[in-house]
Amino acid sequence: MGVATLAYDPHVNPHATKSAQFLALHSGPAPLLLPNPWDQGSARLLTWLGFQALATTSSGFAATRGRLDGAMQRDEVMGHAAAVVAATDLPVSADLENGFGDDPAQVADTVRLAVEAGLAGCSIEDFTGRPEDPIYDAGLAAERIAAASHAAHSGPVQLVLTGRCENHLHGRRDLDATISRIRAYQEAGADVLYAPGLIELDEIRRVVDAVDRPVNVLARPGGPTISELAGAGVARVSLGGALCFAALGSVVEAANELLEQGTYGFFERAAVGAKAARAAFTA
């Protein structure tokens, strides 16, 4: 049985159709593998490799500008999202961090801009961006998702909204508190739920069993395999900035070889990339 898709209808808004296709991909027999391109070239390469949908990465995009995660402005992120959308025929979801504002109305404005950018989905997290007080109050966090949901779902394009609970990335390991939050985000209208930082399979199963929406898991070193996540009922697996930083890691290794050894062993890997680029960029 293949992954669920929707037939294209020329009488239907193609943007709306792509968003519907993106949601349907969360109901397949295996988790949707959602890689995270960091620029137009990586988006085209990942499309050529055969993935079914893509998602932007805030940390990866920031790295292309020589910045750290969280340092990009909303207009920069929206321009980047629109560029990735233009680079591929696949549905694209965007990492919109905390929605670029504390107030629910600000979050709603950001989601409306996401629709205008041609995105099929977006995620809104409950991280404040303030290390001294990293997670929004639970009530405000749910209000923010409700405002995002209204903006995502009130027009002809039904943007796939992911509600993110950031507890486990910021030292708050209370799984019951995380489950309480994602249940609230489900009630507030999120289409997909996501608690990045979970790595224990039993905890992931508890999250999946606690909600009635597809659950996304962030792949982590030492974490469950894709087949294990599938067995736990996970609907989607994303990588965050991992692919971008893997590419940067290859640059570091190649440059160090050149500097320290004066040799060119890295050309073997460069040849793999060049061959793929020639195929992907002319397809």
Structure confidence at residue 11 (pLDDT)? 62
The pLDDT assigned to 3 comes to 34
The pTM score is 0.94
Which positions ≥6 away from 174 have C-beta within 8 Å?
A: 167
Centroid of chain to Cα 30: 18
CA distance 274 to 240: 24
Q: Name the packing angle between helices 40-49 and 267-282 (round to 10°).
A: 80
User: Distance from CA of residue 126 to its chain's centroid?
Assistant: 15
In Å, the largest CA–CA distance within the chain is 61
Beta bridge partners of 123: 95, 162
Nearest alpha-carbon partner for 274 in 104, 9, 45: 45
pLDDT 10s per residue in the chain (283 long)?
Answer: 233 333 445 566 999 999 999 999 999 999 999 999 999 999 999 999 999 999 999 999 999 999 999 999 999 999 999 999 999 999 999 999 999 999 999 999 999 999 999 999 999 999 999 999 999 999 999 999 999 999 999 999 999 999 999 999 999 999 999 999 999 999 999 999 999 999 999 999 999 999 999 999 999 999 999 999 999 999 999 999 999 999 999 999 999 999 999 999 999 999 999 999 999 999 6
Contact between 62 and 71 (Cβ < 8 Å): yes
Going by C-beta distance under 8 Å and a sequence separation of 6 or more, which residues neighbour residue 41? 87, 277, 281
CA distance 141 to 88: 32
Helices marked H in the chain — which ranges? Answer: 14-24, 40-49, 58-64, 74-87, 104-116, 138-153, 175-188, 201-210, 226-231, 242-260, 267-282
Backbone angles phi, psi at 121, to 5 degrees: -160, 170
- Residue 101 is predicted with a pLDDT of 98
Residue 72 CB coordination number (10 Å): 21
What distance in Å separates the CA atoms of residue 117 and residue 77, rounded to the nearest whole number?
A: 10
Q: What is the pLDDT of residue 283?
A: 66
Question: How many residues in the chain?
Answer: 283
CB atoms within 10 A of CB 178: 22
Angle at 29 between CA 276 and CA 37, to 5 degrees: 30
Rounded Cα–Cα distance for residues 232 and 216 (Å): 12
Domains in the chain, CATH or no CATH each: 14-240 (3.20.20.60)
Of 215, 96, 86, the C-alpha closest to 144 is 96
The DSSP result for 236-265, as a single string, is: EEE-TTHHHHHHHHHHHHHHHHHHHT---T
